[in-house]
Amino acid sequence: MTLSLLGLMRPALCRSLVPMVRSPQLVVISRVQLLLPNIFHQNMVPPAASCVRFYATKKSKAKAAKGQASKVNINSSLVEDIISLEETKEDMAAVLTTLKDDFSRNLSIRTSPGALDHIVVSTADGKFPLNQLGQISMKSPQLIVVNMTGFPEAVAAATRALRESSMKLNPEVDGTIIRVAIPKVTREHRENLAKLAKQFGNKAKESLRRVRSNAITQVKKAKDTVSEDTIRLVEKQVGQMADSFAADVDKQLTTKTKELLG
């Protein structure tokens, strides 16, 4: 009896299942519904398909959060009465330039006469670069000689400047001649240079934080003349600039560390 009933219902069932299969939702119909069609109305939607809830994945939540934290790009001319964003950017760029100079002058593994050019000598007449007071030359890969014949009175000051430099040198004086032995490039020496590179990197980040703090302090002084929303946008812009330069500092430090450690 049941099989005969199913045979009669087959065409109607095929017509009703076609739109269900083509729809994007998957509808499950139990055997009870097939065997007892009179209990269910033709247009009744099975409970399993009556409510479908989609949950956000971690990736979609992350994308949404990223969208909320969108970057701010303020036209500097519109807030020039509050702060000069161009000058702030230049101050931060100067920090990065100083870091690069520190790396090239103090953390070079290859020895050359120019390795001592950055050393500043304090004399009674003022501060002068070492290469302006003496003639620097290479005698061997591990020995640099500084001829102080032109300024013999500055020999003591130059020797002190060499000894107190970050290069950890131990100069020897012979009249107006200063001999500077360059440490052999050992693994320990490379690691010490890498530590020094990290110190320069931390110093650069401190300088960036100082520039950022000074800029935000200046912005807050205009709270009586501009809206709070404007203040927040400018602060966010300054923060983005500082974060961008801090990322550049990290890149420079990573590259230099790899170079030093080999």
| Mean pLDDT of the 240-254 span | 96
Same domain, 177 and 117: yes
Residues in CB range of 157: below 8 A, 6 or more apart: 121, 122, 123
The answer on pLDDT for 89 being more than 90 is yes
Q: What per-residue confidence (pLDDT) applies to 9?
A: 55
| Mean pLDDT of the 6-29 span | 49
Work out the pLDDT band at 49, boundaries 50, 70, 90: very low
Same domain, 221 and 237: yes
Q: Would 220 be classed as within a structural domain? A: yes
Q: Would 36 be classed as within a structural domain? A: no
Work out the pLDDT band at 30, boundaries 50, 70, 90: very low
Q: What per-residue confidence (pLDDT) applies to 118?
A: 75
Nearest to 177 by CA among 138, 215, 146: 146
Same domain, 122 and 215: no
Same domain, 134 and 165: yes
Q: What is the mean pLDDT of the chain?
A: 78
Q: Rounded distance, CA 249 to CA 227, Å?
A: 34
| Residues of the domain holding 143 | 113-181
Work out the pLDDT band at 242, boundaries 50, 70, 90: very high
Q: What per-residue confidence (pLDDT) applies to 7?
A: 53
Q: Among 135, 162, 181, give the residue marking a domain's end.
A: 181
Q: What per-residue confidence (pLDDT) applies to 21?
A: 45
CATH number at residue 132: 3.30.1360.40
Could you report the per-residue pLDDT of 173-195, keeping only the tens digit for each?
999 999 998 877 778 878 888 99
The answer on pLDDT for 23 being more than 80 is no
Q: Would 161 be classed as within a structural domain? A: yes
Q: Would 17 be classed as within a structural domain? A: no
Q: Write out the two tokens for 201.
A: 């990197």
Q: What per-residue confidence (pLDDT) applies to 110?
A: 62
Same domain, 205 and 225: yes
Q: Rounded distance, CA 207 to CA 241, Å?
A: 13
Q: What per-residue confidence (pLDDT) applies to 119?
A: 86
Q: What per-residue confidence (pLDDT) applies to 112?
A: 67
Higher pLDDT, 9 or 88: 88
Higher pLDDT, 154 or 117: 154
Same domain, 219 and 95: yes
Q: What per-residue confidence (pLDDT) applies to 216?
A: 93
Q: Would 49 be classed as within a structural domain? A: no
Q: Among 181, 207, 228, give the residue marking a domain's end.
A: 181
| Mean pLDDT of the 220-248 span | 91
Q: Would 16 be classed as within a structural domain? A: no
The strand pairing partners of 87, in sequence order, are none
Same domain, 165 and 195: no
Could you report the per-residue pLDDT of 56-66, keeping only the tens digit for each?
565 555 554 55
Same domain, 201 and 82: yes
Torsion angle defined by CA atoms of residues 222, 228, 229 and 231, in that order, rounded to the nearest 10 degrees = 30
Q: Among 166, 181, 196, give the residue marking a domain's end.
A: 181
Residues in CB range of 235: below 8 A, 6 or more apart: 216, 219
Percentage with pLDDT > 70 across the chain: 69
Q: What per-residue confidence (pLDDT) applies to 208?
A: 97
Number of domains making up the chain: 2
Work out the pLDDT band at 10, boundaries 50, 70, 90: low
Same domain, 192 and 164: no
Work out the pLDDT band at 97, boundaries 50, 70, 90: very high
Same domain, 87 and 213: yes
